[in-house]
Chains A and B, each alone.
Chain A
Amino acid sequence: MSINSIHWFRKGLRLHDNPALLEAARGSHTLRCVYFLDPWFAGASNRGVNRWRFLLQCLEDLDSSLRKLNSCLFVIRGQPANIFPRLFKEWKVSRLTFESDSEPFGKERDAAIKKLASEAGVEVITKISHTLYDLNRITELNGGQPPLTYKRFQTLVSSMEPPEPPREPLTRELLGDCVTPVSGNHRERYGVPLLEELGFDTESLAPAVWPGGESEALMRLERQLGPDATAAWQENFERPKMSSSPLLASPLGLSPYLRFGCLSCRLFYYKLTELYNKVKKNTSPSISLYDKLLWREFFYTAASNNPRFDRMEGNPICIRIPWDRNPEALAKWAEAKTGFPWIDAIMTQLRQEGWIHHLARHAVACFLTRGDLWISWEEGMKVFEELLLDADWSVNAGSWLCHSCSSFFQQFFHCYCPVGFGRRIDPNGDFIRCYLPVLRDFPAKFIYDPWNAPDEVQRAAKCVIGVDYPKPMVNHAEASRLNIERMRQIYQQLSRYRGLSLLAAVPSNHMEVVGVSEAQGAAAPPTRRRPRSGTSTHRHRTSPYTTPSDLSEHNHEFAIPQQPGRLIWPVGGGTGKREREAEHNGCHGDDGPSPSSSALKAQDDEKRREDGEGVAFSS
């Protein structure tokens, strides 16, 4: 019996390190690589033209690489669940392979396809290759819940085996006798469509700053990490120089390629290690070398079992914040009309090119949410989803949860100033001049706050604020004062802390598995790759929102007795025992939002005490 395989491309748009694709080729007589352009999905996901262009370029590149192997790509219009059964029959398929997807909706879709395949007698093989690790193992190591702090995540990961090395690319040799049957009308039926065919207007489209595709990704990787190792090291790992250069799209940037899987994260991981070993001989790299890759991994893990990861309501790890619903203000932000040149330049870059630097992401996300506009992070996330090339569902939502201090225990007291932050990075304002030509002639002194420039300066710059460029849409000093105060109140409520300290209301970020004793005896810095301590110490981790000092100290905030039974964290899964431990030893844990009957009880005790005394002004 002959083996006829389909490899289904979704992400993972590459031939290198693609274990599922190798499985498809192994011992097969025929191999067809398919990609579904799903009109329904496209409509729902609302991707912008840059993302579509990037995707189509990836597909073009994939097709041309496959053609070099005497194969080609089948781009199928429609939904996988509707079309697979027909393909299984038509192509007499016996094996279906694809890269496994960790995201909740992807898993759901894949389960449905697996069912269809098994009904059709098709063997299904999936392989993990979009992430470095098997995310389920990380969650398992953490006692069944995804870790909620990056530190905790780092610790878990460093206790695991290093990721598997990348697999060899698909080659003619590996394909052997395996062929791809192609019909005469392949181009019409299965060719990669043009942007125009998808209904995009390409007349006014500037050339892509980020050309899609595996070939481009590998070229960038080669340039970024070699051939001059020392230069490459400085480029990547020395502290970034304070200038506008990191803000601009780098020809070495890789994040969109990782998002679409044009570049394997494991290949990147091993190239990084190689470079490190070349430059820093005799030391083993610290886990922080891989920060960029691991943050991505962290968000994938956090989202893997949480279908509401991208919402506030019903999302167990998201703090409920009474965001303002304000479409006009949101539109000003999204369309780069805030009147803050730093914010508007970033949003312009994002819309034009599809990528912005991570510091720029912090800046605009903070401005939209907790910093200035007090608009829900979900709205910002949707805008990024449309415009940002590297915005994967998990990573995008996770970043926004972080930026808005809605989860993952961030410093809420610090918000980026829409004037000062940019000025620190790029004092001359070259970045602004690049993306907002209307402000080009402003002197550096006023380019971040042009509304403060005297009239004659505005006239000399041929840009009158309020006429040629908008006035600032908010008074940052006043808005940030209000917003910090609101965040403080929300966090205080969560931590049940009633004192004056702003910092005591900040949830602790530092729940480490190592435990205090290990730190006390830390005269000799322990190696990072310590034996697996994760599971054994896990049970000591407790809610960061309860420490005894918080409860006993100052009780002087304006206090409305709590309505019993109203908890902001709607999480399930904690045990009463753990909570009690929390109150006794004040040990910080990172499973965070702790639900729990005893937290509730403590809150009620407090309430009844207050009621008993009859003063809300709790003494």
Chain B
Amino acid sequence: MKRRLSGDCEDSPSSCEGPAESCKRVRQPAEDSGDVLPDWARLPQEMLLHIFQYLPLLDRAFASQVCRGWNEAFHMPELWRCFEFELNQPASSYLKATHPDLIKQIIKRHSNHLQYVSFKVDSSTESAEAACDILSQLVNCSLKTLGLISTARPSFMELPKSHFISALTVVFVNSKSLSSLKIDDTPVDDPSLKVLVANNSDTLKLLKMSSCPHVSPAGILCVADQCHGLRELALNYHLLSDELLLALSSEKHVHLEHLRIDVVSENPGQQFHTIKKSSWDAMVRHSPKFNLVMYFFLYEDEFGPFFRDEIPVTHLYFGRSVSKEVLGRVGMNCPRLVELVVCANGLRPLDEELIRIAERCQHLSAIGLGECEVSCSAFVEFVKMCGRRLSQLSIMEEVLIPDHKYSLDEIHWEVSKHLGRVWFPDMMPTW
């Protein structure tokens, strides 16, 4: 049998045959005579699918032009479950965008296959609008995952709210089985969350909505009340309330796994409300293993209400300068602390604070220090106390102040010894 070249294989009916049969046919000629190549056009669809999964879309698109069989494989639903729309404008981004024709084709041929969808949108309003246009056409699909990701400035915020909401609710209403939803930095509001809850309350497990200014504490409370499967939640501090924590720790609710809170000050001197210790206690009783991640972006004088009582925080990030006093309170009141990052502190060394944290935060395993000061001996003492449980230790070199016991050159050996692995401080170029 003469081998056919892939160019004239269009009439090959390979896709109609059973896989075993076609497997045989692909292999057969090679067994018959050593000098011929296998017929790639007759590769069974499962195998093609397997190979296609490894190929980037563009390569798959090229491959789909080879023959009818490969073209059919290109359109197999399995390859279209997951798609990331990249919406960029040449004027506002350096990155390429998903081609409009591809978007059209996906909406036409594959929208019912889509399950995991994300939109990466640059800082232009046009891109956010384009994302909404696509969203509002996703009427016959059932998404499990939806992510709206602003890669630069949050452009969804610049859309007319009603426009955004109507597009988003199309997905909420049609999907009915959303499990993960990531809508940080968008104008989502209370009524649209109600629609989400009404249609997806049984399936929703993850909700990320940091910096959504149009949502009120009541709006998020409604989600917590209805979505008993919710395991992960990210929101800003102004949405956090005692009621919310109690709702999340009700008997009907599954164990919460992660709660992320961003504490951001909009204007200096802002007053923040407090959360009762009893609410946190209820939370820990209900979900003993839950992680509480808190990101602080506050001025030093805005920390008043925080860390006065015990708080079950596990991951703490201080994005701005935080005072010695507050870090002292962290040492006293954060017994579950696992990770601590301090980007900046005043000019006084944090010696006692670190030692106290080592003493009282028995689970601490990661620490990062930026513009702070610690004496070398206190730092060595800290590492010695924490020992090998310190799996991440990221300290800028300038943080460590040499003293009578250790110079900068000695400290990395001393710390490495206590950690049981080689360690160096982080360096920034001094050029």
Contacts and interface: CB of A to CB of B under 8 A. Distances in A.
A565 B429 contact: no
Given A399-B429, A565-B55, A608-B53, A411 B368 contact: yes
Interface in B123-170: 123, 144-145, 147, 150-154
Interface string A406-423: 000011011111001100
B391 A417 contact: no
A186 B306 CA distance: 76
A504 B317 CA distance: 13
Nearest to B421: A516
A604 B424 CA distance: 33
B347 A242 contact: yes
Contact of B93 (A286, A322, A501): A322
Contacts of B147: 558, 560
A509 B431 contact: no
A565 B84 CA distance: 14
B423 interface: yes
Contacts of B57: 563
Given A414-B343, A512-B422, A616-B82, A326 B264 contact: no
Nearest to B86: A322
B56 A420 contact: no
A312 interface: yes
Interface stretch (A130-138, A164-172, A459-467, A473-481): A473-481
A421 B344 contact: yes
A322 B315 contact: no
Interface in A385-431: 390, 395, 398-399, 402-403, 410-411, 413-417, 420-421, 424
A320 to B, nearest CB: 8
Contacts of A561: 81-82, 116
Contacts of A150: 427, 429
B268 A452 contact: yes
B371 A604 contact: no
Contact of B368 (A296, A326, A506, A614): A506
A481 B421 contact: no
B366 A411 contact: no
Contact of A374 (B153, B262, B422, B423): B153
A387 to B, nearest CB: 16
Interface stretch (B35-43, B204-212, B245-253): B204-212
B33 interface: no
Contacts of B211: 478, 481-482
Contacts of B206: 558, 617
Given A420-B344, A516-B421, A519-B416, A564 B54 contact: yes
A502 B341 contact: yes
B14 interface: no
Given A326-B92, A486-B151, A481 B82 contact: no
Nearest to A611: B81
B315 A501 contact: yes
Contact of B370 (A414, A477, A516, A559): A414
Interface string B75-116: 000100110100010011111000000000000000000011
B225 interface: no
B182 A558 contact: yes
A325 B84 contact: no
A89 interface: no
A325 B93 contact: yes
B110 to A, nearest CB: 15
A410 B422 contact: no
A616 B366 contact: no
B145 A616 contact: yes
A615 B152 contact: no
Interface in A493-513: 500-504, 506, 509-510, 512
Contacts of B421: 516, 519
A323 B152 CA distance: 6
Contacts of B347: 242, 424
Contacts of B180: 558-559, 616-617
B264 A478 contact: yes
Say which size band chain B's interface belongs to.
35 or more
B392 interface: yes
Contact of B118 (A151, A510, A560): A560
A255 B429 CA distance: 13
Given A501-B392, A617-B179, A417 B344 contact: yes
Given A481-B264, A604-B53, A506 B392 contact: yes
B408 interface: yes
B297 A522 contact: no
A477 B320 contact: yes
A552 to B, nearest CB: 13
Given A325-B93, A414-B370, A510-B422, A565 B268 contact: no
Contacts, number: 257
A563 B321 contact: no
Interface string B335-369: 00011010110110000000000000000001110
B298 interface: yes
Contacts of B117: 560
Contacts of B339: 500-503
B420 A516 contact: yes
Contact of B424 (A413, A414, A510, A559): A510
Interface in B363-405: 366-368, 370-371, 391-392, 394, 396, 401
A284 B314 CA distance: 45
B317 A502 contact: yes
A482 to B, nearest CB: 7
Given A414-B370, A417-B344, A556 B428 contact: no
A324 B264 contact: no
A288 B409 contact: yes
Nearest to A395: B431
A558 B208 CA distance: 8
A538 interface: no
Contacts of B92: 324-326
A540 B84 CA distance: 36
A38 to B, nearest CB: 26
B87 to A, nearest CB: 11
A313 interface: yes
Contacts of B408: 288
B84 A411 contact: no
B341 A616 contact: no
Interface in A10-31: none
Contacts of A563: 56-57, 82, 84
Interface in A557-572: 558-561, 563-566
A502 B82 contact: no
A362 interface: yes
A312 B94 contact: yes
Contacts of A526: 413
Interface string A530-572: 0000000000000000000100000010111101111000000
A279 to B, nearest CB: 15
B190 interface: no
B55 A420 contact: no
Nearest to A242: B347
Contacts of B368: 411, 413-414, 502-503, 506
B120 A322 contact: yes
B182 to A, nearest CB: 5
A338 interface: no
10 contacts: A324-B123, A358-B430, A500-B291, A516-B422, A522-B416, A525-B410, A549-B391, A604-B53, A611-B82, A616-B116
Ranked 4 nearest A-B pairs via Cβ: A414-B370, A324-B152, A322-B151, A503-B392
Interface of A: 150-151, 239, 242, 255, 286, 288, 291-292, 295-296, 299, 312-313, 320, 322-326, 358, 362, 374, 376, 390, 395, 398-399, 402-403, 410-411, 413-417, 420-421, 424, 449, 452, 475, 477-478, 480-482, 484-486, 500-504, 506, 509-510, 512, 514-516, 518-520, 522-523, 525-526, 528, 549, 556, 558-561, 563-566, 600, 604, 607-608, 611, 614-617
Given A503-B366, A558-B208, A564-B55, 4 more contacts: A322-B120, A480-B297, A526-B413, A611-B81
